[in-house]
Amino acid sequence: MSDHPATSQTLTPRGAGILAEPEAEFGPDFVVPQHWDRYSPEEHAVWDRLYRRQAELLPGRAAPEFLAGLAALNLNRGGIPDFEAINRDLQALTGWSVVAVPCLVPDAIFFEHLANRRFPAGRFIRKPQELDYIEEPDVFHDVFGHVPMLTNPVFADYMEAYGKGGLRSLGFDALPNLARLYWYTVEFGLINRPEGLRIYGAGIASSHAESIFALENSSPNRMHFQLERVMRTRYRIDDFQQNYFVIDSFEELFDATYQDFAALYARLPGLATFAPEQIVPGDRLYQHGDQAYANSGGRFGNEGKSTSPV
């Protein structure tokens, strides 16, 4: 399960109910069987509804690499995908695989999986009445949102490098910095294409409302990715982002991050952090947001309006 930046790594079983399992089911790597045969028709129907909604929305909004991955994995075979079927295709493409985990996993376990090209995914799915907002990532977020990009060789290498970097970071007091990098790229990253900005972050791509907000709303800032800037920028975990970082290419992302962060970690504690909406000298802006959404109270001040998060 991939909400590593949430930092509150409690071990609460996910999706209490049909797929809740005793802790004894998992070993030190937290991997469990997906138990695909245990999903109910209603649970499969939730996947199908979410899939249809995003598949209609994302052409022209998601990065071509994301859409190509979605097509390559054929995640629309009817209902929640069987991880075994995904893995046959994914392993052939980039050597990655998806493994089911029953709960949030500790950072070290999460990094270890990524470093070995395994993506830990939740296996429960949100309830029909929660289609538009979930507090914890479910199988739709983890598989629909994250796995398509793992078919892209450069992004696949970036994710492995992130895991290895995460393991190295455990000796430093740098987890919040590394979590920001994950948040603003893997979860909420945008890429600049000749035809316009496109989505590659899983947190956006798996969210109907944020897929629109991230690209079209006047509220958030959109600025070019800079590694140190990202690591110093706090983020929203409960609402749409107030800032999105934009890369020019996945090679740019990989090159910027494929380094030993030890010198950076040594420097960061002496540097100020930035508020999510803050603009500072040196920022390369695509949009200076008016922050109207956030200033009106965001999700909590806009309930019932068309811009509530998904």
Which residues contact Fe ion (rule: CB under 5 A)? 2, 137, 202
Min dist. Cβ of residue 203 to Fe ion (A) = 6
CA geometry: angle 48, 54, 56, nearest 5 deg:
100
75 vs 202, beta carbon nearer Fe ion: 202
**DSSP bridge pairs for 190:** 199, 246
Which residue in 238, 250, 251, 246 sits closest to 298, CA to CA? 238
- Look at strands 285-287 and 221-224 and give their pairing: antiparallel
202 vs 227, beta carbon nearer Fe ion: 202
139 vs 215, beta carbon nearer Fe ion: 139
Min dist. Cβ of residue 5 to Fe ion (A) = 9
Whole-angstrom distance, CA of residue 278 vs CA of residue 287 = 13
70 vs 268, beta carbon nearer Fe ion: 70
User: Which residue number places its CB atom closest to Fe ion?
Assistant: 2
2 vs 241, beta carbon nearer Fe ion: 2
Min dist. Cβ of residue 207 to Fe ion (A) = 11
Whole-angstrom distance, CA of residue 302 vs CA of residue 287 = 22
Min dist. Cβ of residue 222 to Fe ion (A) = 20
19 vs 202, beta carbon nearer Fe ion: 202
Radius of gyration of the chain (CA): 18
Which residue in 142, 149, 148, 140 sits closest to 39, CA to CA? 140
- Helical ranges in 74-196 per DSSP H: 83-94, 107-115, 139, 153-169, 175-182
Min dist. Cβ of residue 186 to Fe ion (A) = 7
Min dist. Cβ of residue 202 to Fe ion (A) = 5
107 vs 268, beta carbon nearer Fe ion: 107
Whole-angstrom distance, CA of residue 102 vs CA of residue 265 = 32
Min dist. Cβ of residue 3 to Fe ion (A) = 6
Min dist. Cβ of residue 141 to Fe ion (A) = 6
DSSP letters of 239-256? S--SEEEEES-HHHHHHH
How far, CA to CA in Å, does 246 sit from each of 5, 212, 238?
A: 19, 16, 21
CB 222 within 8 A of CB 289: yes
236 vs 289, beta carbon nearer Fe ion: 236
Whole-angstrom distance, CA of residue 146 vs CA of residue 75 = 12
